[in-house]
Amino acid sequence: MRLTLRVWRQRDAADEGAMSTYQVDGISPDMSFLEMLDTLNEKLILEGEEPVAFDHDCREGICGACSLVIDGDAHGPERTTTCQLHMRSFRDGDVIDVEPWRAAAFPVIKDLVVDRSAFDRIIQAGGYITAPTGAAPEAHATPVPKPDADHAFEHAECIGCGACVAACPNGAAMLFTSAKVNHLNVLPQGAPERETRVLDMVGQMDAEGFGGCTLAGECATACPKGIPLSSITDMNREWLRATAKGARR
Amino acid sequence: MAVSGLIMLLYLVAHMIGNLKVFFGPGEFNAYGHWIRTVGEPFMHYSWTLWVIRVVLVAAVLAHATAAYQLSRRGGRARPARYVRKKRGSDYATRTMRWGGVILGLFIVWHILDLTTGHVHAGGFQEGRPYQNVVDSFSTWYGNVIYIVAMLALGLHIRHGFWSAAQTLGAGGRTRDRVLKTAANLLALLLTAGFVAVPVGVMTGVVS
């Protein structure tokens, strides 16, 4: 396959940045999108140019490191991560636009790499449980009803890639935060911090400068892990409950 | 957004039902207009109830507009750099909430100047004769156009707004999602149809 790539190039955080056009040849439909970018970078290095910087790690869709808005879709046209997107989803001769996640809370570091530590700080605000250290507890000591376990697991699938923020017209981080809140709030292990968790994580989310939710639903459409939009509703319910409880104290 | 929106929605349902009295003749419609001012008597003085409703509505409109402005500003600040290319993943009703809301706000001003104070009323506003005022208003082409466009905007606004309010208040959920979406569409359809029925009634001569 022969492709035309229009890639966002930005030297550093202070640079203004612009789209640059490149031609790549000899792309196999079996290559992943990142392998296609590797091919482009090899070519750029051979030509003595600066290779395109992009985030990647596991390349098997579980770590959440890869990003990229491809042709206006976070993680491209398929419902998966960019590393699991294959070139068979494109056609020979296509012009493909590649841009970084766009959000004030995710500043561009270089080219397609953005700083997502705002997500880490949201997790630090309450995305954990209080548990004694030492040997793993006996699995049957704390029974969890099956529907709750399923609910928690569905939200635990969030890999924190930030596609929800990238897709959201308001640059909001509601889907990420709600996935993390619901994952722990439904479980007995998460019960001791149930109220503080949702209040602190939402507080941190706001402090990071993410936008407000208008329930446009683009986050859930972009999410490579299928976190449902109802996750946001569940978090709103938890937040209202925690606020009401806090007001009574 | 959600609470102020639901207050306005509740009022709209009552307003729409009240409007439909126009199809039962000037006697009933004018009597209904009079009743709004005397309801609650003798506990309430003449038109007190009406003024309470007006104050609550103005507060709701202001709260709704302020929250919408803040939400838009916040969204703009959170996405300072735009995408060169971005696919749209939300439906028409969702995308038009902001401008649709502005249209509705302007319409409310027009509507009050037209049928409450009579400042922009066509054909001489008559205090205490709402039936004649309605007929006069919808006998002009622009009266009809403004009203019908606003009611279509209203339907779209409610379609996303009602469902959205339920999500904000944590009342939604996966199992209830279809029920809420259907309810939002039904409300939007019923309100739009109910309101539009009046100018259509005047245009077709059913109300004259």
Q: Which of residues 126-145 of B touch A (CB under 8 A)?
A: none
Tokens of A121: 């700080």
Which residue in B has a C-alpha nearest to residue A151's C-alpha?
B174
Mean pLDDT taken over chain A: 95
Query: A-chain residues within 8 Å CB-CB of B81?
Result: 102
Q: Is residue B163 part of a domain?
A: yes
**Per-residue pLDDT at A247:** 65
Q: Distance between CA atoms of B61 and B3, rounded to whole angstroms?
A: 11
Instruction: Report CA torsion sign: A100, A104, A105, A109.
Output: positive
Query: A-chain residues within 8 Å CB-CB of B164?
Result: 214-215
Query: A-chain residues within 8 Å CB-CB of B165?
Result: none
* CB-CB under 8 Å, A6 with B87: no
Q: Distance between CA atoms of B50 and B200, rounded to whole angstroms?
A: 27
Cβ partners under 8 Å of residue A82, min gap 6? A33, A34, A56, A66, A67, A68, A70, A75, A76
Chains A and B: how many Cβ contacts under 8 Å?
A: 104
Tens digits of per-residue pLDDT, A148-194? 999 999 999 999 999 999 999 999 999 999 999 999 999 999 999 99
* CB-CB under 8 Å, A71 with B85: yes
Angstrom CA distances, B166 to A121, A157, B60, B92, B183, stand at 29, 26, 17, 19, 11
Residue span(s) of chain A under CATH 3.10.20.30 come to: 3-109
ipTM attached to this prediction = 0.91
The answer to whether B205 contacts chain A (CB < 8 Å) is no
The band of A137, judged by pLDDT with boundaries at 50, 70 and 90, is: confident
Q: Is residue B83 part of a domain?
A: no
Tokens of B44: 């309430």
Q: Is residue B51 part of a domain?
A: yes
The answer to whether B90 contacts chain A (CB < 8 Å) is yes
**Per-residue pLDDT at A139:** 80
Q: Is residue B120 part of a domain?
A: yes
Residues from A in contact with B at Cβ < 8 Å: 6, 8, 19, 69, 71-73, 97, 99, 102-105, 167, 169-172, 209-212, 214-218, 221-222, 228-230, 232-234, 236-241
Tens digits of per-residue pLDDT, A190-244? 999 999 999 999 999 999 999 999 999 999 999 999 999 999 999 999 999 999 9
CB B65 within 8 A of CB B105: yes
Q: Distance between CA atoms of A101 and B80, rounded to whole angstroms?
A: 12
**Per-residue pLDDT at B88:** 83
Angstrom CA distances, A13 to A98, A162, A198, B66, B75, stand at 18, 19, 32, 34, 21
CA neighbours within 13 Å on the CB side: how many for B9? 25
The answer to whether B178 contacts chain A (CB < 8 Å) is no
Which residue in B has a C-alpha nearest to residue A169's C-alpha?
B75
Which phi and psi angles does A63 have, rounded to 5°? -100, -25
In order along its 208 residues, chain B shows pLDDT tens digits of 999 999 999 999 999 999 999 999 999 999 999 999 999 999 999 999 999 999 999 999 999 999 999 999 999 999 999 999 998 888 999 999 999 999 999 999 999 999 999 999 988 899 989 999 999 999 999 999 999 999 999 999 999 999 999 999 999 888 899 999 999 999 999 999 999 999 999 999 999 8
Is-cis flag, bond preceding A51, omega within 30? Answer: no
Domain at A3-109, CATH class: alpha beta
Query: A-chain residues within 8 Å CB-CB of B82?
Result: 102
Q: Which domain holds residue B24?
A: 2-78+90-204
* CB-CB under 8 Å, A209 with B90: no
DSSP-assigned letter for residue A192: G
Tokens of A109: 């570091």
Task: Report helix, strand or coil for A3.
Answer: strand
Task: Report helix, strand or coil for A233.
Answer: helix
**Per-residue pLDDT at B123:** 80
The band of A138, judged by pLDDT with boundaries at 50, 70 and 90, is: confident
* CB-CB under 8 Å, A228 with B174: yes
**Per-residue pLDDT at A246:** 83
Which phi and psi angles does A59 have, rounded to 5°? 55, 25
DSSP-assigned letter for residue A66: -
Q: Distance between CA atoms of B30 and B51, rounded to whole angstroms?
A: 18
**Per-residue pLDDT at A249:** 59
Question: Alpha helix (H) ranges present in B39-176?
Answer: 48-78, 92-95, 97-115, 130-137, 141-168
In chain A, what's the furthest Cα-to-Cα distance? 67
* CB-CB under 8 Å, A214 with B164: yes
Which phi and psi angles does B74 have, rounded to 5°? -65, -40
**Per-residue pLDDT at A133:** 82
pTM of the model: 0.94
Q: Distance between CA atoms of A71 and A217, rounded to whole angstroms?
A: 19
Give the minimum alpha-carbon distance from A235 to chain B in angstroms, rounded to a whole number. 8
**Per-residue pLDDT at A248:** 63
* CB-CB under 8 Å, B82 with A102: yes
Architecture per CATH, domain A116-248, reads as Orthogonal Bundle (1.10)
Residue span(s) of chain A under CATH 1.10.1060.10 come to: 116-248
Query: B-chain residues within 8 Å CB-CB of A214?
Result: 71, 75, 94, 97, 164
Identify the H or E element spanning B16.
helix B2-19
Domain count, chain B: 1
Task: Report helix, strand or coil for B182.
Answer: helix
Question: Alpha helix (H) ranges present in chain A?
Answer: 33-46, 117-126, 146-156, 163-167, 174-185, 194-207, 218-222, 230-248
